[in-house]
Amino acid sequence: MKSKWIASLTQHGDTPPWGLKFRSSDGFIIGTVALAVFTDMFLYGVIVPVIPFALQSRSHIDEDRVQYWVSVLIAIYGAALLAFSPICGWLADRTSSRRSPLLLGLLALLGSTVLLNVGSRIEIWIVARILQGASAAVVWVVGLALLADTVPQERLAQAMGYVSLGMSLGLLIAPMLGGVVFDHAGYDAVFGMCYALIGLDILLRLLLVEKKVAARWDPDAAGRVRVTTSTTTTTMADGEVSKSDEEAAPSTTHPDAGKTPPPSDPEKGTTTTSTTPTPTPNTPHPHPRTRDRLPPLLSLLYSRRLLAALFSSIIQASLFTAFDSVLTIRAASIFSWTSTGASLLFLPLVIPTFLAPIYGWLADRIGGRWPASLGFLLATPPLICLRFVRSNTLHDKVLLCALLALTGLTLSSTFPPIMAEISSVVEAKEASMVARGAKGYGGPGGAYAQAYALFNVAFAGGCVVGPLLAGFVAEEQGWEDMALVLGLLSAVTAVPAFLWLGGWVFGKKGGREGDGNGDGEREGGT
């Protein structure tokens, strides 16, 4: 019995693991990734209200140095996230499993939590924050790549919406629970919640069965399995089977049986008929481009379509995190609110993000260009109108909450389509590389993890830029000018989002968008 249980977790042997269909279903995989993101955000946020007190009581930091070390520990987390994201993406695409890196990332998260719990020296806390940043890089890079492997492109934005929901819940619940539990039960009780959540996360990640693994026993569960042959790498739809070039043979039922096999359609993994000789996709391009010889982590940056998504991610994160450095101070100075009252102002900003799955569903139906560009454009008026919150009146308090709610409502529509756009660019790039006769793109896992590593770097960069920008402008020029800067920044971002998300808006279908650039670049260039 014990050996069967171990086999079901390691996913080896001839006997299908129990609950295979459920454990490899889209819903279970999406739920597991969303919980992983929630866990990461929860463990990041739960200690925010605890660290200042723990620095004094456990690390014996002087009161006048607490703010300094809080800032340093936050910066270390962000630096680790930025540094490890490209590494995680490169390694994840060169492994045959997404599940294994996710488990390793969870071990890093467990280690960081233990160090934060038992550590009493600032050096130990620094190491813990580095491990926490590395774990976050694994969760976001590998988790999003796993979703791209699993969910068809036409439903991916909605799946990303659930990931965004997990992030929002973690950011909303963690600080409040951390403060309440710390006040009533103590420091160790805060980490008791963390250990329980990590235990649940470990269980789900052990139970998870990737689509390509499930296909060993159930071909119908193949999903978007990427099949790599000696010369091509294609993305297969549900139920499709790919043969290597050596095994491929003319079909006896095809009208042209015995003749030259029809060329492959790199976008669908299927074959098409042709009455005239057509060069096969495996014919090398006469003028190979320099970018095609670069690692995907670099060659993807040639895509203006991807650059537009990354720029949107930076601004998106900047606008949301900008309030971290200014909102509490503004509420305290105008309304004379305590930290508890000021923290409640984040509720109208975060609660609308729970609509992210609906926005994702909409993006899957009409494309990501309109939800993303309109989200940035419609966020401009409420951001600028924040300048009118000036006095300690009921009117201004209601106005501030309403403007924050509108900001959250509009900006939350940008998350799912941008995250799904990353996958779409890679898929188009892979099809283009196959058409050029390349031997695949990226490693055994394709290039999804490296693409989402770039997304993670962009988002983490925005989390650094946003609070610094808002804080600097508010301090030097005032709250009114800060609101104007944020509003104009959102309006400017709507332009590249409209022009390039989903491909160059003026490009012809099947023409200049095929290589994932979406910007009209000619073939054969460098």
Is 140 a residue whose pLDDT tops 50?
A: yes
Residue written as token pair 């409420």:
382
Q: Best-predicted range by mean pLDDT among 71-75, 419-423, 496-500?
A: 496-500
Please say whether the beta carbons of 414 and 372 come within 8 A. yes
Domain 12-213 identical in fold to domain 289-526:
yes
Looking at residue 279, what is its pLDDT? 44
Report, as an integer, the average pLDDT of 266-280. 41
Looking at residue 234, what is its pLDDT? 44
Higher pLDDT, 518 or 391: 391
Looking at residue 293, what is its pLDDT? 72
Looking at residue 266, what is its pLDDT? 39
Looking at residue 305, what is its pLDDT? 94
Report, as an integer, the average pLDDT of 236-252. 37
Looking at residue 49, what is its pLDDT? 77
Looking at residue 518, what is its pLDDT? 55
Higher pLDDT, 474 or 224: 474
Q: State pLDDT tens for residues 336-375.
A: 886 667 767 888 988 998 999 999 999 999 999 999 999 9
Looking at residue 480, what is its pLDDT? 95
Report, as an integer, the average pLDDT of 140-148. 91
Q: Report the share of the chain in percent with pLDDT over 90.
A: 41
In this structure, which amino acid lies at residue 341? G
Is 281 a residue whose pLDDT tops 80?
A: no
Burial 183-213 (b: 16+ CB within 10 A, else e): eeeebeebbebbeebbeebbebbebbbbbbb
How high is the mean pLDDT of the chain? 80
Is 283 a residue whose pLDDT tops 60?
A: no
Region for residue 264 given its phi and psi (left: phi exceeds 0; alpha: psi -120 to 50; beta: otherwise): beta
Q: State pLDDT tens for residues 291-325.
A: 767 778 888 898 999 999 999 999 998 898 888 77
Report, as an integer, the average pLDDT of 117-122. 89
Q: State pLDDT tens for residues 46-56.
A: 887 788 888 88
CB neighbour list of residue 357: distance below 8 Å, 6 or more residues apart? 158, 161, 162, 164, 165, 416
Q: What residue ranges do the domains of the chain occupy? A: 12-213, 289-526
In this structure, which amino acid lies at residue 309? A
Report, as an integer, the average pLDDT of 138-160. 91
Picking from 146, 143, 131, 119, the residue whose alpha carbon sits closest to that of residue 54 is: 119
Higher pLDDT, 9 or 408: 408
**H-run or E-run covering 484:** helix 479-500
When the candidates are 3.40.718.10, 2.60.120.10, 3.40.50.300, 1.20.1250.20, the CATH number that belongs to 12-213 is: 1.20.1250.20
pLDDT band at 96 (very low <50, low <70, confident <90, very high): confident
Cα dist. 347→42, 226, 315 in Å? 16, 41, 21
Higher pLDDT, 97 or 389: 389
Looking at residue 517, what is its pLDDT? 57
Report, as an integer, the average pLDDT of 261-266. 43
Is 278 a residue whose pLDDT tops 80?
A: no
Higher pLDDT, 276 or 358: 358
Residue written as token pair 């052990």:
206
Which CATH superfamily hosts domain 289-526?
MFS general substrate transporter like domains (1.20.1250.20)
pLDDT band at 241 (very low <50, low <70, confident <90, very high): very low
* pTM across the whole model: 0.77
Looking at residue 313, what is its pLDDT? 94
DSSP 3-state percent helix, strand, coil across the chain (nearest 5): 70, 0, 30
Per DSSP, the residues of 105-136 read: HHHHHHHHHHHHHH--SHHHHHHHHHHHHHHH
Looking at residue 180, what is its pLDDT? 82
Looking at residue 512, what is its pLDDT? 41
Helices (DSSP H) in 19-150: which residue ranges? 20-23, 26-45, 51-57, 66-92, 99-118, 122-150
Report, as an integer, the average pLDDT of 37-47. 89
Looking at residue 74, what is its pLDDT? 75
